[in-house]
Amino acid sequence: MHEGGLGKGAILLYSVTGVITFFLLVPLLFPIALSFSDTPFVVFPPKGFTLQWYWKVINEPDFTTPFMFSVQLGVFAAIGALLIGTPTAMGLTRYSFPGRGVVQGLVLSPLVFPMLVTGIALLRLFTSINSNSSLTNLVIGHTLVTVPYVIRTVSASLLLIDPSTEDAARTLGANTWMTFWRVTRPQIVPGLFAGGIFAFVTSFDNYSISMWLADAEHFPMPMAMFALISRMFDPGIAAIASLMILMSIVIVVVLERLTGLQRAMSV
């Protein structure tokens, strides 16, 4: 009876998971299908088959320029988030000090605080200090909202390793930096990769911060898509969305090859 009940529970769990996965994936199939339509406007179901929209957007500066800028911005934000989030995670995980809970709540607050309000606050801050570099402002803003992802993933990885290995390294004469680089870092690589990937994707897809800090020269991809949709709605928009979906899939595959997706996501 117990085994039978467990089997039914497993079947129910897999069924619910399958239904949820279906509802999550189906919306992604619509822009992919629409991107192959040979009509000059969006219709569903799509008619015909063509790759012209992909060639159009790939050769269109209105797409390639914002896309490459968003990639650049995402890389800068991910690097900044790793440089700030990793030592922060180590401090919160390895040390106990007064106000630790308050500090942890503050550094993780961008996860729950509305990004629109954060963007307005950053705009006021940069205006008050006369910071006129849009690129610098965007990197700081995107780093701010992506640091919590690194802190959470790295903290989870740190909790999975034995602190005594670090103590042993220091006992044998290793300084703090050498202990981190040779002992701690190899054990938290999945958390570092996962945090960096989450930071990059969050930055690449961020609209709420970018809309306040961007200018005509530094124009991220989400804002470019919004501008394109506002003046036209042909299958080229679906082709752009499909390319962004493909990029996300490639990132997941790379993460799987480098660290093992199951292990990385477990943090």
Percent of the chain with pLDDT over 90: 10
Does the pLDDT at position 266 exceed 60? no
To the question of pTM greater than 0.85 for the whole model, the response is no
What's the pLDDT at 83?
Answer: 93
- What is the band of 43 on the pLDDT scale with cuts at 50, 70, 90? low
- By residue range, what is the domain housing residue 153? 60-266
> pLDDT for 3-19, tens place per residue?
444 567 778 888 888 88
What's the pLDDT at 232?
Answer: 67
Kindly state whether residue 262 falls inside one of the protein's structural domains. yes
Mean pLDDT of 193-208: 87
Does the pLDDT at position 82 exceed 90? yes
Reported as type and span, the H/E element at residue 45 is: none
Which SS3 state, helix, strand or coil, does residue 174 take? Answer: coil
Task: Give the CATH number of the domain where residue 168 resides.
Answer: 1.10.3720.10
Compute CA distances 102 → 92, 106, 108, 195, whole Å.
11, 6, 10, 22
What's the pLDDT at 148?
Answer: 92
What's the pLDDT at 260?
Answer: 57
Q: Residue 155: CB partners within 8 Å, gap ≥ 6?
A: 89, 92, 93, 191
What's the pLDDT at 75?
Answer: 92
Mean pLDDT of 78-83: 93
Kindly state whether residue 3 falls inside one of the protein's structural domains. no
Q: Which one has a higher pLDDT value, 232 or 78?
A: 78
DSSP letter for each residue of 188-224: SHHHHHHHHHHHHHHHHT--TTHHHH--SSS--HHHH
Determine contact, residues 197/258, Cβ cutoff 8 Å.
no
Kindly state whether residue 189 falls inside one of the protein's structural domains. yes
Q: Which one has a higher pLDDT value, 109 or 262?
A: 109
* Tally of domains within the chain: 1
DSSP type of residue 95: -
Kindly state whether residue 149 falls inside one of the protein's structural domains. yes
> pLDDT for 144-179, tens place per residue?
999 999 998 888 888 888 878 877 888 877 788 888
Kindly state whether residue 213 falls inside one of the protein's structural domains. yes
What's the pLDDT at 44?
Answer: 72
